[in-house]
Structure 1
Amino acid sequence: MGLTTRGTGLLVAAAALLGTGWRFGYPELTVLGAAGAVAVGQAVLGAARSPRLTVHRVADPDRVAVGEPARMTLAVRNTGRLRVTSLLAEDRCAGRPVPVPLLRLRPGRDTTCGYDVPTRRRGVLPVGPLRVTRRDPLGLCAATRAYGPAAVVRVHPRVHPLVAVPTGAGRSLDGRVDGVPHGSITFDSLREYVVGDELRRVHWRTSARVGELMVRENVDTSLPRIVVLLDNRSAAHPDRVGGAAGSFEAACEAAASLVVAAFRQDLPVVLLLVDPADDRTADPPLDRLAAVTLTDPSGRGPDGPTVGGDRDGGVLGSTLTGLRGDRPGDTLVFLTGPGGRDDVGRVGALRGAYPSVLVGVLGAAGPTPSAAGPVVLDAVDGVAFAAAWDAVRRW
């Protein structure tokens, strides 16, 4: 709460009139100064009374792809006993003020308004809280308060449909890839019988020994396990336009397309970042892709270049070492930018641990020179990557 420019000027004038009238004996000036001081005091008391408002906020939807419409709806209700007037309200959406009209709210009444959320760029957009400014009728004093909770709208990368899906290191015995992880003929473990299990799967010898019906649990070992490694180093995406790296946005679109294609086929997929700093691994993959940003690991590691294009203290080397030891899948897809071309050979060295290794160079102006090694897909944007991906005949 504070005085406005008008209120400050009136307070200064009132003090001058009071001092002049008192000093030189002009009662008229003293009365004018006292009236001005009383008006400022009344304005402060009026603005100090906070209105009782409740704000209900709905984002429809709260998760969209780039360019899709999203709308924020606000319902403001007066829960007090008096009518609230002289209110100015604005919401904050992605760091920008959005005016919210508040008319004379009667007790127990509410007003509803909405506005479109900008979804032109990928990211996590904070929205709110609603800031309500109460002014006195003369505009001498203003008090701003926050009402209601804040919300978040996540703008996911565009998803381009992919037809082809890696078939994994193994093949199912009937010549196709089974989309169900259980129910094949490969024995995995024994478990207790539940209603609905087939009696032919009962393991009678173990059941007789333990005194309970035990059934064989079989799994399909031919399911491909896809690992998507997104290069989020700023050195891999050197070109910027308006503060955004087009190659990195294209890489995020490619990663989102791969994740969605795997989900639609009921295939396990793992999304990893080259630099996992500030990565919320517990969030869904598309939410992580909405929040991921370029990082500069050079400020956190040793100075100077290392091997190949890894000029950031070896963060890529550490990630590749972890992938070699953990082996979370059998198909590795590395998505990088023009600055990561020198690291193609280092990723290709993982072919001993991953039977299928593919490298996507997004934002590429030309073909990436490479010897015999992983499959390299050069694409200008996400659409070109989807076309190049579907054109691959051998994983």
Structure 2
Amino acid sequence: MTGRTGMAVTARGIGLLVAAVVLLGVGGRFAYPELTLLGAAAGVAVGYAALVAAWRPRLTVIRTASPDRVGRGEPATMELTVRNTGRLRAVNLLAEDRCDDRWVPVPLLRLRPGRDTAVRYDVPTVRRGVVRVGPLRVTRRDPLGLVASARPYGGSVPIWVHPRIHPLNAVPTGAGRSLDGRTDAVPHGSITFDSLREYVIGDELRRVHWRTSARVGELMVRENVDTSLPRIVVLLDNRAAAHPYGGGPSESFEACCEAAASIITAAHRADLPAILLLVAEDSVPATTGSGTTVGAVRGWAGLRARRRPAEHADAAPDGGASPAGPLDRLAAAELVAGDGDLQATVTRLRRDRLGDTLVFLTGPGGRGDLGHVGALRGAYPSVVVGVVGAADPTPPGAAGLVVIDAADGAAFAAEWDRVRRW
């Protein structure tokens, strides 16, 4: 019954049912009461087994991921607590917890009423992605093994496996600098109106927008941004055509994800706003710092209050399953079949002007599209292109762009720190 839920008759039960039908038929046809009695007994045994397997134990499942967001290769554990909330009898059950594509056995032996048992096991984090853990599958069998029923208990919890982060010493600050020669970080901004968000405890009342608050029926607060604060836009090329591979995971795409995560983390540590965009099928940018959307700003405010580590600073405030920030989006990012519409993305970037430094990360198959990215030099003072996973360097004179060639994420970090002109 691996991977399946519901009630099913085992091979032994099917054999006994066939024997019952044959015995009842032969006993009735030839007037053998002994065979009829054996056939009836076999049928009663299968019926009793179905009743036993149909009984549903009352269990409460609590699972805790520690931590729920990790870097690739970092340890993560899942603690599962199963409590018998029934009042009548102890239970002996076979239980398995789903962890990605494997099943972890959970022993439930003599679980008495009102008692619980806890199991802890390691979650595999060797691959970037979202590891779904749960639900718990409890299998109940009768003593003769004729009927088995499997039912799910509890929900599932995602564990976000972020790309491996390589430390970067240099962070481009574009053209937005303060008059005294340094970069200022203004948490809430002070110059230009950006958006409205719901009031949270601690906000200044002078920032409440009373007209909108009266219209919607709840307090709304103005969010301002400092337009002189440098902004970094990371554009990740997730088109399958840009990352050719032969049947397995694309190493160039994984390396691009590591490069994007490294840039985002370095920008966060330097208190610079950063935006992550995907070329294919991306409608809502993931942001850090002074976000461009109400949801992004509200989420970032909650993160700063929780004081999470910088490399996991985009965790969802409510621990939900939806991507909350750039690192979560990178964990869930996948290659999209087809060439994607890079021209539409470039047009939107030129129109919106989301920042002053654009970093375009692509694979060997994306070199032919560098001309489209080069057209953004008028809208973005600094445009940097990272070609990751290519066997040979990019030919010189690629639309006049700063091009970084690297074999993998670690090599990209090393080449990134060698750049002297942004």
Q: Report SS of the residue matched to 1:77.
A: strand
Q: TM-score, normalised by structure 2?
A: 0.79
Superposed CA RMSD? 2.2
Amino acid at match of 2:257: C
The worse-fitting range, judged by mean Cα deviation, of 315-324 and 99-108 is: 99-108
Residue equivalent to 1:343: 369
Residue equivalent to 1:258: 263
Residue equivalent to 2:327: 286
Change (3 A) 1:278 1:333: closer
Separation in 2, partners of 1:104, 1:392: 64
Residue equivalent to 2:349: 323
Q: Report SS of the residue matched to 2:261.
A: helix
1:164-193, CA deviations, whole angstroms, 9 ceiling, x for partnerless residues? 111221432222222336799xx769xxxx
Residue equivalent to 1:134: 140
Gaps of 5+ in 1: 190-196, 198-217, 299-311
Aligned match for 2:63, one of 35, 57, 68: 57
Identical counterparts, % of pairs: 70
Are 1:116 and 2:122 an aligned pair?
yes
1:23-72, CA deviations, whole angstroms, 9 ceiling, x for partnerless residues? 11212111211111111111111111111111111111111110001111
Amino acid at match of 2:82: V
Whether the 8 Å contact between 1:168 and 1:223 is mirrored in structure 2 is no
Residue equivalent to 2:401: 374
Q: Which runs of 4+ in 1 moved over 4 A?
A: 181-184, 218-222, 277-282
How far did 1:220 drift? 5.7
Q: Report SS of the residue matched to 1:390.
A: helix
Gaps of 5+ in 2: 1-6, 194-203, 205-223, 287-294, 296-323
Separation in 2, partners of 1:148, 1:181: 40
1:236-279, CA deviations, whole angstroms, 9 ceiling, x for partnerless residues? 00024x62000000000000011111111111111001112587
Counterpart mapping for 1:233-252 below 5 A: 233-240=239-246, 243-252=248-257
Larger of the two Rg values belongs to structure: 1
Residue equivalent to 1:37: 43
Aligned match for 2:170, one of 164, 168, 173: 164
Separation in 2, partners of 1:358, 1:349: 12
Amino acid at match of 2:95: A
Are 1:267 and 2:272 an aligned pair?
yes
Q: Report SS of the residue matched to 2:111.
A: coil
Residue equivalent to 2:418: 391
Q: Report SS of the residue matched to 1:129.
A: strand
Are 1:67 and 2:73 an aligned pair?
yes
Separation in 2, partners of 1:260, 1:238: 27
Residue equivalent to 2:32: 26
Q: Report SS of the residue matched to 2:152.
A: strand
Corresponding residue pairs, total? 351
Change (3 A) 1:219 1:318: closer
Are 1:145 and 2:151 an aligned pair?
yes
1:106-129, CA deviations, whole angstroms, 9 ceiling, x for partnerless residues? 111111112111100000111111
Whether the 8 Å contact between 2:192 and 2:227 is mirrored in structure 1 is no
